[in-house]
Structure 1
Amino acid sequence: MAGARTATTPANWRPPSIPRDREGRYYPSLLQPYARHQVDVGEVAVALYAAGVTQRKAAEVMSLLLGHRYSHETVSALTDGVLEKVSAFRQRPLPEEMAWVYLDGFFLKVHREGLGVEKEAVYVALGVTPCGERQILGFWLLPTENASAWEGVLKELWGRGLRRVLLFVTDGLPGIEEAIRRVYPQAGWQRCVVHQVRGSLG
Protein backbone atom coordinates (compact mmCIF):
# COMPACT_ATOMS: atom_id res chain seq x y z
CA MET A 1 0.00 0.00 0.00
CA ALA A 2 1.36 3.43 -0.89
CA GLY A 3 2.08 6.05 1.75
CA ALA A 4 0.55 9.50 1.47
CA ARG A 5 2.70 12.62 1.60
CA THR A 6 1.63 16.12 0.70
CA ALA A 7 3.12 18.03 -2.22
CA THR A 8 2.42 21.64 -3.12
CA THR A 9 1.24 22.60 -6.58
CA PRO A 10 0.42 26.11 -7.80
CA ALA A 11 -3.31 25.39 -7.65
CA ASN A 12 -3.80 22.99 -4.78
CA TRP A 13 -2.46 20.39 -2.41
CA ARG A 14 -2.57 16.74 -3.48
CA PRO A 15 -1.19 13.51 -1.97
CA PRO A 16 1.13 11.67 -4.39
CA SER A 17 1.38 7.90 -4.07
CA ILE A 18 4.80 6.81 -2.81
CA PRO A 19 5.79 3.11 -2.63
CA ARG A 20 6.98 1.88 0.76
CA ASP A 21 10.03 -0.18 1.51
CA ARG A 22 10.21 -2.45 4.54
CA GLU A 23 11.42 0.28 6.90
CA GLY A 24 9.41 3.13 5.42
CA ARG A 25 12.53 5.12 4.47
CA TYR A 26 12.14 5.33 0.68
CA TYR A 27 11.58 8.88 -0.52
CA PRO A 28 12.04 9.73 -4.22
CA SER A 29 14.57 12.44 -5.03
CA LEU A 30 12.02 14.01 -7.38
CA LEU A 31 10.04 15.18 -4.33
CA GLN A 32 13.01 16.61 -2.42
CA PRO A 33 12.03 20.23 -3.31
CA TYR A 34 8.89 19.65 -1.27
CA ALA A 35 10.75 18.33 1.77
CA ARG A 36 10.27 21.61 3.63
CA HIS A 37 6.61 20.65 4.11
CA GLN A 38 7.51 17.41 5.89
CA VAL A 39 8.13 16.98 9.60
CA ASP A 40 11.66 15.63 10.16
CA VAL A 41 11.18 11.98 11.15
CA GLY A 42 14.64 11.81 12.68
CA GLU A 43 13.89 14.78 14.93
CA VAL A 44 10.73 13.10 16.20
CA ALA A 45 12.53 9.82 16.92
CA VAL A 46 15.44 11.51 18.68
CA ALA A 47 13.19 13.75 20.79
CA LEU A 48 11.00 10.88 21.96
CA TYR A 49 13.99 8.67 22.71
CA ALA A 50 15.64 11.52 24.59
CA ALA A 51 12.50 11.95 26.68
CA GLY A 52 12.81 8.36 27.93
CA VAL A 53 10.27 6.71 25.64
CA THR A 54 11.22 3.17 24.55
CA GLN A 55 12.00 2.59 20.89
CA ARG A 56 8.93 0.38 20.45
CA LYS A 57 6.65 2.98 22.04
CA ALA A 58 8.36 5.76 20.06
CA ALA A 59 7.52 3.87 16.86
CA GLU A 60 3.86 3.75 17.92
CA VAL A 61 3.80 7.47 18.72
CA MET A 62 5.51 8.39 15.43
CA SER A 63 3.00 6.30 13.51
CA LEU A 64 0.18 8.13 15.28
CA LEU A 65 1.63 11.63 14.86
CA LEU A 66 2.95 11.30 11.31
CA GLY A 67 0.37 8.99 9.74
CA HIS A 68 2.90 6.39 8.57
CA ARG A 69 3.88 3.03 10.07
CA TYR A 70 7.31 2.93 11.71
CA SER A 71 8.99 -0.09 13.32
CA HIS A 72 11.17 -0.03 16.42
CA GLU A 73 14.06 -1.12 14.16
CA THR A 74 13.58 2.11 12.20
CA VAL A 75 13.64 4.11 15.42
CA SER A 76 16.82 2.28 16.47
CA ALA A 77 18.50 3.23 13.19
CA LEU A 78 17.35 6.83 13.52
CA THR A 79 18.63 7.16 17.08
CA ASP A 80 22.17 5.94 16.41
CA GLY A 81 24.50 8.54 17.84
CA VAL A 82 21.54 9.87 19.79
CA LEU A 83 23.44 11.74 22.51
CA GLU A 84 24.91 14.31 20.16
CA LYS A 85 21.61 14.67 18.33
CA VAL A 86 19.69 15.06 21.58
CA SER A 87 21.97 17.84 22.77
CA ALA A 88 21.74 19.66 19.45
CA PHE A 89 17.96 19.21 19.28
CA ARG A 90 17.33 20.52 22.78
CA GLN A 91 19.63 23.53 22.46
CA ARG A 92 19.11 24.53 18.84
CA PRO A 93 18.02 28.15 18.29
CA LEU A 94 14.51 28.72 16.98
CA PRO A 95 13.27 31.16 14.33
CA GLU A 96 12.21 34.53 15.73
CA GLU A 97 8.70 34.24 14.30
CA MET A 98 6.03 31.58 13.88
CA ALA A 99 2.62 32.06 12.32
CA TRP A 100 1.04 29.33 14.46
CA VAL A 101 2.20 27.15 17.32
CA TYR A 102 0.22 24.06 18.26
CA LEU A 103 0.60 22.88 21.84
CA ASP A 104 -0.68 19.48 22.89
CA GLY A 105 0.01 16.78 25.42
CA PHE A 106 -0.73 13.08 25.67
CA PHE A 107 0.09 10.37 28.19
CA LEU A 108 2.41 7.38 27.82
CA LYS A 109 3.52 4.59 30.12
CA VAL A 110 7.23 5.16 30.70
CA HIS A 111 9.67 2.77 32.36
CA ARG A 112 11.86 4.48 34.95
CA GLU A 113 14.83 2.59 36.37
CA GLY A 114 14.10 1.68 39.97
CA LEU A 115 10.57 3.08 39.79
CA GLY A 116 8.88 0.69 37.38
CA VAL A 117 6.30 1.81 34.82
CA GLU A 118 4.65 5.17 35.36
CA LYS A 119 2.20 7.21 33.32
CA GLU A 120 3.69 10.55 32.26
CA ALA A 121 2.74 13.41 29.97
CA VAL A 122 4.50 14.09 26.67
CA TYR A 123 4.34 17.79 25.76
CA VAL A 124 4.59 18.63 22.06
CA ALA A 125 5.10 22.05 20.43
CA LEU A 126 4.68 22.16 16.65
CA GLY A 127 5.31 25.45 14.83
CA VAL A 128 4.27 26.66 11.39
CA THR A 129 6.36 29.43 9.83
CA PRO A 130 4.86 32.32 7.82
CA CYS A 131 5.95 30.38 4.70
CA GLY A 132 3.99 27.30 5.76
CA GLU A 133 6.96 25.18 6.87
CA ARG A 134 6.22 22.93 9.83
CA GLN A 135 8.83 22.52 12.55
CA ILE A 136 8.81 20.43 15.70
CA LEU A 137 9.92 22.96 18.30
CA GLY A 138 10.32 20.43 21.08
CA PHE A 139 9.14 17.48 23.14
CA TRP A 140 9.12 17.35 26.93
CA LEU A 141 8.33 14.45 29.25
CA LEU A 142 6.82 15.56 32.58
CA PRO A 143 4.90 13.82 35.38
CA THR A 144 1.57 15.47 34.52
CA GLU A 145 0.02 18.11 32.26
CA ASN A 146 -0.89 21.51 33.69
CA ALA A 147 -0.72 25.19 32.75
CA SER A 148 2.27 25.86 35.00
CA ALA A 149 4.35 23.25 33.19
CA TRP A 150 3.25 24.65 29.83
CA GLU A 151 4.38 28.10 30.95
CA GLY A 152 7.82 26.62 31.59
CA VAL A 153 7.80 25.16 28.07
CA LEU A 154 6.84 28.55 26.61
CA LYS A 155 9.64 30.29 28.52
CA GLU A 156 12.09 27.78 27.09
CA LEU A 157 10.84 28.50 23.55
CA TRP A 158 11.31 32.22 24.22
CA GLY A 159 14.79 31.61 25.56
CA ARG A 160 15.74 29.72 22.41
CA GLY A 161 14.81 32.69 20.24
CA LEU A 162 11.10 32.42 19.42
CA ARG A 163 9.89 35.99 19.98
CA ARG A 164 6.72 36.43 17.92
CA VAL A 165 3.78 34.06 17.47
CA LEU A 166 0.63 35.10 15.65
CA LEU A 167 -1.61 32.39 17.10
CA PHE A 168 -1.35 29.58 19.64
CA VAL A 169 -3.71 26.61 19.23
CA THR A 170 -4.27 24.40 22.27
CA ASP A 171 -6.84 22.26 24.03
CA GLY A 172 -9.03 23.70 26.78
CA LEU A 173 -6.64 22.99 29.64
CA PRO A 174 -7.49 25.32 32.55
CA GLY A 175 -5.02 28.21 32.77
CA ILE A 176 -3.31 27.58 29.43
CA GLU A 177 -4.52 30.85 27.88
CA GLU A 178 -3.23 32.85 30.85
CA ALA A 179 0.13 31.05 30.68
CA ILE A 180 0.45 32.03 27.02
CA ARG A 181 -0.44 35.65 27.81
CA ARG A 182 2.30 35.87 30.44
CA VAL A 183 5.04 34.77 28.04
CA TYR A 184 3.63 35.95 24.68
CA PRO A 185 1.23 38.81 25.54
CA GLN A 186 0.79 39.88 21.90
CA ALA A 187 -0.12 36.42 20.60
CA GLY A 188 -3.63 35.26 19.81
CA TRP A 189 -5.09 32.08 21.27
CA GLN A 190 -7.61 29.61 19.89
CA ARG A 191 -8.95 26.37 21.24
CA CYS A 192 -8.38 23.44 18.89
CA VAL A 193 -11.60 22.50 17.08
CA VAL A 194 -10.76 18.79 17.29
CA HIS A 195 -10.54 19.00 21.08
CA GLN A 196 -13.80 20.95 21.19
CA VAL A 197 -15.60 18.28 19.17
CA ARG A 198 -14.15 15.49 21.30
CA GLY A 199 -15.23 17.33 24.43
CA SER A 200 -18.78 17.77 23.18
CA LEU A 201 -19.02 14.07 22.30
CA GLY A 202 -17.47 12.95 25.55
Structure 2
Amino acid sequence: VNGLLLQSMQPVLILLLGAAVFREQVGLPQLAGIVLSISGALMIILGGNLSALVRFEFNSGDLVICVAVVVWSIYSVLLRKRPAVHPLSFLAATFVVGIAMISPFYIAEIASGRLIENRPESWLAISYVSLFPSLIAYLFFNRGVELLGSTATSLYLNIMPVIGALLAAVFLMEPIGWYHFIGMGLIGAGIVSAARKSGQAIARTYNSGPGS
Protein backbone atom coordinates (compact mmCIF):
# COMPACT_ATOMS: atom_id res chain seq x y z
CA VAL A 1 0.00 0.00 0.00
CA ASN A 2 2.81 2.39 0.85
CA GLY A 3 4.42 1.75 -2.53
CA LEU A 4 1.19 2.44 -4.40
CA LEU A 5 0.58 5.61 -2.39
CA LEU A 6 4.04 6.94 -3.20
CA GLN A 7 3.69 6.03 -6.89
CA SER A 8 0.35 7.85 -7.11
CA MET A 9 2.23 11.09 -6.35
CA GLN A 10 4.39 10.65 -9.46
CA PRO A 11 2.28 12.92 -11.75
CA VAL A 12 2.82 15.82 -9.32
CA LEU A 13 6.57 15.28 -9.30
CA ILE A 14 6.69 15.06 -13.10
CA LEU A 15 4.65 18.28 -13.32
CA LEU A 16 7.04 20.09 -10.96
CA LEU A 17 10.14 18.82 -12.76
CA GLY A 18 8.70 19.80 -16.14
CA ALA A 19 7.98 23.29 -14.86
CA ALA A 20 11.45 23.62 -13.30
CA VAL A 21 13.51 22.19 -16.17
CA PHE A 22 11.58 23.33 -19.25
CA ARG A 23 9.53 26.20 -17.81
CA GLU A 24 6.33 24.41 -18.82
CA GLN A 25 3.15 26.37 -18.38
CA VAL A 26 0.56 24.23 -16.64
CA GLY A 27 -3.06 24.99 -17.36
CA LEU A 28 -6.06 24.59 -15.08
CA PRO A 29 -7.29 21.45 -16.94
CA GLN A 30 -3.99 19.70 -16.26
CA LEU A 31 -4.00 20.68 -12.59
CA ALA A 32 -7.57 19.50 -12.24
CA GLY A 33 -6.67 16.27 -14.02
CA ILE A 34 -3.82 15.57 -11.61
CA VAL A 35 -5.98 16.24 -8.54
CA LEU A 36 -8.81 14.03 -9.83
CA SER A 37 -6.46 11.25 -10.89
CA ILE A 38 -4.62 11.14 -7.58
CA SER A 39 -7.90 11.27 -5.66
CA GLY A 40 -9.21 8.30 -7.64
CA ALA A 41 -6.03 6.31 -7.09
CA LEU A 42 -6.11 6.99 -3.36
CA MET A 43 -9.77 6.00 -3.21
CA ILE A 44 -8.94 2.56 -4.63
CA ILE A 45 -5.65 2.02 -2.80
CA LEU A 46 -7.12 2.92 0.61
CA GLY A 47 -10.38 1.07 0.05
CA GLY A 48 -12.48 4.21 0.32
CA ASN A 49 -11.06 5.06 3.75
CA LEU A 50 -9.08 8.21 3.04
CA SER A 51 -8.58 8.77 6.77
CA ALA A 52 -6.06 5.89 6.63
CA LEU A 53 -3.56 8.45 5.31
CA VAL A 54 -3.23 9.68 8.88
CA ARG A 55 -1.80 6.29 9.88
CA PHE A 56 0.80 6.26 7.10
CA GLU A 57 4.18 5.13 8.46
CA PHE A 58 7.40 5.66 6.52
CA ASN A 59 9.91 2.78 6.58
CA SER A 60 13.20 1.92 4.91
CA GLY A 61 11.50 0.07 2.04
CA ASP A 62 9.59 3.21 1.16
CA LEU A 63 12.91 5.00 0.57
CA VAL A 64 13.64 2.58 -2.28
CA ILE A 65 10.24 3.38 -3.82
CA CYS A 66 10.88 7.13 -3.41
CA VAL A 67 14.20 6.85 -5.26
CA ALA A 68 12.50 4.85 -8.03
CA VAL A 69 9.71 7.44 -8.32
CA VAL A 70 12.21 10.31 -8.56
CA VAL A 71 14.39 8.52 -11.13
CA TRP A 72 11.37 7.55 -13.26
CA SER A 73 10.05 11.12 -13.09
CA ILE A 74 13.39 12.50 -14.29
CA TYR A 75 13.41 9.94 -17.11
CA SER A 76 9.87 10.90 -18.12
CA VAL A 77 10.59 14.63 -18.20
CA LEU A 78 13.89 14.29 -20.09
CA LEU A 79 12.40 12.01 -22.75
CA ARG A 80 11.66 15.07 -24.86
CA LYS A 81 15.43 15.55 -25.19
CA ARG A 82 16.07 12.07 -26.53
CA PRO A 83 18.07 11.90 -29.79
CA ALA A 84 16.23 11.49 -33.10
CA VAL A 85 16.87 7.75 -33.43
CA HIS A 86 14.63 4.75 -34.03
CA PRO A 87 12.55 3.87 -30.93
CA LEU A 88 14.09 0.38 -30.76
CA SER A 89 17.61 1.85 -30.95
CA PHE A 90 16.82 4.22 -28.09
CA LEU A 91 15.33 1.36 -26.09
CA ALA A 92 18.38 -0.83 -26.73
CA ALA A 93 20.64 1.93 -25.41
CA THR A 94 18.41 2.22 -22.34
CA PHE A 95 18.71 -1.52 -21.73
CA VAL A 96 22.51 -1.38 -22.03
CA VAL A 97 22.67 1.35 -19.37
CA GLY A 98 20.26 -0.61 -17.17
CA ILE A 99 22.29 -3.83 -17.48
CA ALA A 100 25.50 -1.98 -16.64
CA MET A 101 23.95 -0.47 -13.50
CA ILE A 102 22.28 -3.64 -12.24
CA SER A 103 25.13 -6.06 -13.03
CA PRO A 104 27.08 -5.47 -9.76
CA PHE A 105 23.97 -6.28 -7.72
CA TYR A 106 23.26 -9.38 -9.81
CA ILE A 107 26.85 -10.59 -9.42
CA ALA A 108 26.60 -10.03 -5.66
CA GLU A 109 23.44 -12.16 -5.54
CA ILE A 110 25.10 -14.98 -7.47
CA ALA A 111 28.13 -14.82 -5.16
CA SER A 112 25.85 -15.15 -2.15
CA GLY A 113 24.32 -18.31 -3.58
CA ARG A 114 20.91 -16.88 -4.45
CA LEU A 115 20.43 -18.40 -7.90
CA ILE A 116 17.36 -18.58 -10.14
CA GLU A 117 15.62 -21.91 -9.72
CA ASN A 118 15.58 -23.86 -12.95
CA ARG A 119 11.82 -24.39 -13.08
CA PRO A 120 9.22 -23.61 -15.76
CA GLU A 121 7.57 -21.05 -13.47
CA SER A 122 10.82 -19.11 -13.18
CA TRP A 123 11.42 -18.92 -16.93
CA LEU A 124 7.79 -18.05 -17.63
CA ALA A 125 8.00 -15.17 -15.13
CA ILE A 126 11.27 -13.93 -16.64
CA SER A 127 9.81 -14.17 -20.15
CA TYR A 128 6.73 -12.18 -19.15
CA VAL A 129 8.75 -9.43 -17.44
CA SER A 130 11.18 -9.25 -20.38
CA LEU A 131 8.48 -8.93 -23.03
CA PHE A 132 5.61 -6.95 -21.53
CA PRO A 133 6.75 -4.63 -18.67
CA SER A 134 10.20 -4.12 -20.19
CA LEU A 135 9.98 -4.08 -23.99
CA ILE A 136 6.37 -3.30 -24.91
CA ALA A 137 5.54 -1.03 -21.97
CA TYR A 138 8.65 1.11 -22.50
CA LEU A 139 7.97 1.47 -26.22
CA PHE A 140 4.39 2.54 -25.58
CA PHE A 141 5.30 4.88 -22.73
CA ASN A 142 8.06 6.58 -24.73
CA ARG A 143 5.65 7.11 -27.62
CA GLY A 144 2.98 8.39 -25.25
CA VAL A 145 5.33 11.03 -23.86
CA GLU A 146 6.26 12.01 -27.42
CA LEU A 147 2.60 12.57 -28.30
CA LEU A 148 1.06 13.81 -25.04
CA GLY A 149 3.94 15.18 -23.02
CA SER A 150 5.25 13.81 -19.73
CA THR A 151 2.56 15.32 -17.48
CA ALA A 152 -0.47 13.98 -19.34
CA THR A 153 1.14 10.57 -19.90
CA SER A 154 1.98 10.24 -16.20
CA LEU A 155 -1.72 10.39 -15.32
CA TYR A 156 -2.20 7.02 -16.99
CA LEU A 157 0.11 5.48 -14.37
CA ASN A 158 -2.74 5.86 -11.88
CA ILE A 159 -4.75 3.36 -13.92
CA MET A 160 -2.59 0.61 -12.37
CA PRO A 161 -4.73 0.35 -9.19
CA VAL A 162 -7.81 0.05 -11.42
CA ILE A 163 -6.30 -2.75 -13.48
CA GLY A 164 -5.02 -4.44 -10.33
CA ALA A 165 -8.50 -4.39 -8.78
CA LEU A 166 -10.10 -5.78 -11.95
CA LEU A 167 -7.51 -8.56 -12.28
CA ALA A 168 -7.95 -9.43 -8.61
CA ALA A 169 -11.70 -9.69 -9.14
CA VAL A 170 -11.29 -11.95 -12.19
CA PHE A 171 -8.48 -14.26 -11.02
CA LEU A 172 -8.68 -14.07 -7.20
CA MET A 173 -12.45 -13.60 -6.87
CA GLU A 174 -11.97 -10.47 -4.76
CA PRO A 175 -15.11 -8.29 -4.49
CA ILE A 176 -15.44 -4.95 -6.27
CA GLY A 177 -16.56 -2.23 -3.87
CA TRP A 178 -18.26 1.11 -4.31
CA TYR A 179 -14.91 2.88 -3.87
CA HIS A 180 -13.55 1.10 -6.95
CA PHE A 181 -16.21 2.68 -9.14
CA ILE A 182 -15.71 6.13 -7.61
CA GLY A 183 -11.95 5.80 -8.03
CA MET A 184 -12.30 4.68 -11.65
CA GLY A 185 -14.59 7.62 -12.37
CA LEU A 186 -12.20 10.13 -10.79
CA ILE A 187 -9.18 8.74 -12.63
CA GLY A 188 -11.08 8.74 -15.92
CA ALA A 189 -12.25 12.31 -15.37
CA GLY A 190 -8.69 13.36 -14.57
CA ILE A 191 -7.33 11.86 -17.76
CA VAL A 192 -10.08 13.45 -19.85
CA SER A 193 -9.45 16.84 -18.25
CA ALA A 194 -5.70 16.71 -18.87
CA ALA A 195 -6.22 15.40 -22.41
CA ARG A 196 -7.91 18.62 -23.55
CA LYS A 197 -4.58 20.36 -23.99
CA SER A 198 -2.78 17.19 -25.05
CA GLY A 199 -5.15 16.54 -27.93
CA GLN A 200 -3.85 19.63 -29.68
CA ALA A 201 -0.29 18.35 -29.22
CA ILE A 202 -1.17 15.04 -30.90
CA ALA A 203 -2.70 16.86 -33.85
CA ARG A 204 0.42 18.98 -34.27
CA THR A 205 2.64 15.90 -34.10
CA TYR A 206 0.74 14.05 -36.84
CA ASN A 207 0.42 17.14 -39.01
CA SER A 208 4.15 17.79 -38.91
CA GLY A 209 4.82 15.06 -41.49
CA PRO A 210 6.02 11.47 -41.72
CA GLY A 211 9.20 12.21 -39.84
CA SER A 212 7.23 12.59 -36.63
Q: TM-score band (shorter)? A: under 0.3
Higher Cα Rg, which structure: 2
Whose strand fraction is larger, Structure 1's or Structure 2's?
Answer: 1
TM-score (norm 1): 0.24
TM-score (norm 2): 0.23
Whose helix fraction is larger, Structure 1's or Structure 2's?
Answer: 2
Higher relative contact order (CA 8 A, sep 6+): 2
